[in-house]
Copies of this chain bind each other. A is one copy, B any other.
Amino acid sequence: MQQSIKLSVDAVVFGYESGTISVLLIKRKYEPFIGEWAIPGGFVLDHESLEQAVERELKEETGIEIDYLEQLYTFGNPKRDPRSRVVSVAYFGLIKPSTFKILASTDAEEAQWFKINELPSLSFDHDHILESAISRLRSKITYEPIGFELLDNKFPFSDLEKLYTTLLGRPIDRRNFRKKILSLNVLDELDEKISKGSGRPANLFKFNHKRYFALKKKGIIFEI
């Protein structure tokens, strides 16, 4: 068999901080679309798994190490790359604010965070990939606790609430939300408070992975 299809991976990485969701993009160094913005990614090496390829490319191009990674979709339109046939397996990644802050401060010209409502236009079919990723994030947050992957290990309840209102694009009743989340019993309340300058300091919470997986095994599912 003769086949000249190339295989690449791309990663849409989301970060969250104080009410805004951002995506990590890179400025292309090579043709085609040199100088334009694109989702980080690249060709898969013969010996490595797809996940390894994503992680390698992310590190090479943006210096980042990802906290959460899942496969999104494989884009295989024959014309998606103008030069040759390239099929791309797109991934969906999340990072915690601590990582976000480090990266945001290194004023690298090649990699940059963009708020998801201030996106530049992208090369290839990357607009399309990004759209899929955003819609996946929005819907997934309602039935799996991936939101916690966008927050630090310890967080005040209001951060979680703000994240949800941001992603869902509508206000949430604070009391009902808190009741519902706490009733799942997957958060541990810590003996620690955080103050944000003004106002009453908030208790910190921690997501309890063990308890969540135990619930999941029993078939009890997260739902907002």
Contacts and interface: CB of A to CB of B under 8 A. Distances in A.
A100 to B, nearest CB: 28
Nearest to A90: B74
Q: What 9 pairs between A and B have smallest CB-CB spacing?
A: A50-B76, A74-B74, A5-B7, A74-B89, A4-B46, A1-B43, A46-B85, A3-B6, A7-B87
Contacts of A78: 46-49
Interface in A60-79: 71, 73-74, 76-78
A44 interface: yes
A196 to B, nearest CB: 34
* Interface-centre pick from A1, A4, A73, A87 (highest chain B CB count, 10 A): A87
Interface of A: 1, 3-7, 43-50, 71, 73-74, 76-78, 85, 87, 89
Nearest to A44: B5
Given A7-B7, A71-B73, 7 more contacts: A3-B6, A3-B43, A3-B44, A3-B45, A4-B46, A47-B85, A49-B78
Nearest to A75: B50
A48 B89 CA distance: 17
A50 B89 CA distance: 12
